[in-house]
Structure 1
Amino acid sequence: MELLLLSNSTAYGRTYLDHAMDPISEILNGTKKVLFVPFALADHDGYTAQAADAFSPLGVTVTGAHVGDSIDLTREAEAIFVGGGNSFRLLKELHARGLTRIIRDHVRGGVPYIGSSAGTNMACPTLRTTNDMPIVEPPTFDALGLVPFQINPHYVEHSPDSTHMGETRSKRLTEFLEENDVPVVALREGTWLRQSSDRLKLDGSSTGGVLFRRGSAPEPARRNTDLSELLEAQVRFDQRDTYS
């Protein structure tokens, strides 16, 4: 599979997707048509227009998955970009439109998949490591399952100068691992995961990310870290695939 999973779509001081245009151009590899999935935001037309503006310097045409028959558009897509926003709203709409298995099968068949934030959450087995508020209730937390591990975008560490006494992001991910034995890759801003075939690498900002595993201390993951070992569970994961 060809995956580009961005922690965020907008970096501080830069325009939408500007920080990630090099890996986007690489994964598209000459593809000139992208299907944009805008369902994480309410304004589908405006969101699609924003994506189209960002892709235009690459000579790429963007079509919104909400324009016409979503299933037909997805089946015909040459590349798929799932934008960020609210993960619960996005997943609910994907299930409502019958797109989860179609996207998954299309991407497994070789169509490039780009996700940012909520779109990156969708590539995981489940929604359960999102940061978002559950503003709607999807029928299931099962997501696309393109990778056999979880991702936490927008990862931030607790500041030692902060007086906030609530749970830190690290604490919340530790709680997740108390109930679920699956690795979590926490991506700081400006970072991404790039999968090509059976190779997986963390790239982007020098701030890197953090790898959380059950029963182990969090492990720093720097830029250019090879995380291909996390894909080894994909075959076992696919064998228990029960998604609709």
Structure 2
Amino acid sequence: MKKLIIASTSTIHGSGYLEYILEHLACFFKDCKTITFIPYARPSGISHNEYTEKARQVFQKINKSVIGLHEYDSPAEAIKKAEAIFTGGGNTFVLLNQLYKNNLIDPLRNVIENGTPYLGTSAGSNICGLTINTTNDMPIVYPPSFKALSVVPFNINPHYLDPYPNNKHMGETRETRIKEFHNFNTQPVIGLREGNWIEVNGNEVILKGKELTRVFEYCKAPYELEPETSINKLK
């Protein structure tokens, strides 16, 4: 039975790393002692060691150990044996490229489908969708494919932003970009505002957080859904 938290972000304004969701994570990871951390997205270019240490420090607060995937001799075997997995944010293209490079797409998908608890934030959430084509990141590397884990039947746009009144920026909004995506693709896109997440328990897919979530479906007007709304039938 799948068990996922797919979060827009690791840090909300005025809060420390994962602080806004940490109490919830203590319950989510209650049956595991060690979390395997995938640091491949490397926010701001930090090293795998630096990123893993950041995750390690925060999970100590809920008495969980963290081991970086890069610390194992065989990343694929580490994924297969992991009690739980956390993939942090950063650059989605860098993350996906490294997963393909290490032949981890299928192992990661398989353990998630078989019930290994999975937490993703930002880039780590992007890879849960069908493709990464709705990420906000710059394509600074070129992965072999934009196809992602497909453990949920839609795409995700973390850090979704609404148009800001009187903003001097005259370029495209997130909504405009997603509408451009739907000129060429038909899968739904979930616009996750900061502090929101998607929780998956088996066949149940529920929106969580305090803000409304914006949903984009092919050939439909965008609409808003309240927290605790089921999106099981969104395909």
Q: Return closer, same or farther for 1:26/1:228 CA change in 2, 3 Å cut-off.
A: farther
Asked if 1:65 is matched to 2:66, the reply is no
Asked if 1:8 is matched to 2:9, the reply is yes
What SS class does the counterpart of residue 228 from structure 1 fall into?
coil
Structure 1 consecutive aligned stretches of length 4 or more whose deviation exceeds 2 Å: none
Residue 96 (structure 1) aligned to one of 89, 95, 101? 101
Tell me the TM-score normalized by structure 1: 0.92
CA distance in 1, matches of 2:176, 2:27: 35
Q: What does the per-residue CA deviation read over 1:92-146, in whole Å, with 9 as the maximum and x for residues that have no partner?
A: 0000001110000011111011100000001011110100000100011011111
CA distance in 2, matches of 1:151, 1:100: 18
The residue aligned with 1:119 is 124
Percent identical among aligned pairs is 39
Higher mean C-alpha deviation, range 55-64 or range 20-29 = 20-29
Q: What does the per-residue CA deviation read over 1:61-99, in whole Å, with 9 as the maximum and x for residues that have no partner?
A: 100000022112111101110000000000000000011
CA distance in 2, matches of 1:215, 1:224: 25
Q: Any unmatched runs of 5+ in structure 1?
A: 234-244
What SS class does the counterpart of residue 206 from structure 2 fall into?
strand
What SS class does the counterpart of residue 5 from structure 2 fall into?
strand
Q: What does the per-residue CA deviation read over 1:162-185, in whole Å, with 9 as the maximum and x for residues that have no partner?
A: 132211100000111111111111
CA distance in 2, matches of 1:147, 1:77: 21
Q: How many residues align?
A: 230
Q: Cα RMSD over matched residues? A: 1.0
Residue 148 (structure 2) aligned to one of 137, 143, 146? 143
What SS class does the counterpart of residue 183 from structure 2 fall into?
helix
CA distance in 2, matches of 1:105, 1:179: 29
Contact kept, 8 Å, 1:40 with 1:84, in 2: the verdict is: yes
CA distance in 1, matches of 2:133, 2:224: 22
The residue aligned with 2:190 is 185
CA distance in 2, matches of 1:93, 1:203: 29
Amino acid at match of 1:215: C
How far has the Cα of 1:36 moved from its partner? Answer: 0.1
CA distance in 2, matches of 1:114, 1:211: 21
Amino acid at match of 1:30: D
CA distance in 2, matches of 1:194, 1:207: 15
What SS class does the counterpart of residue 157 from structure 1 fall into?
coil
Q: Any unmatched runs of 5+ in structure 2?
A: none
Residue 223 (structure 1) aligned to one of 218, 227, 233? 227
The residue aligned with 2:163 is 158
Contact kept, 8 Å, 1:4 with 1:23, in 2: the verdict is: no
CA distance in 2, matches of 1:25, 1:208: 24
CA distance in 1, matches of 2:121, 2:9: 5
Amino acid at match of 2:40: F
Contact kept, 8 Å, 1:36 with 1:81, in 2: the verdict is: yes
Amino acid at match of 1:135: I
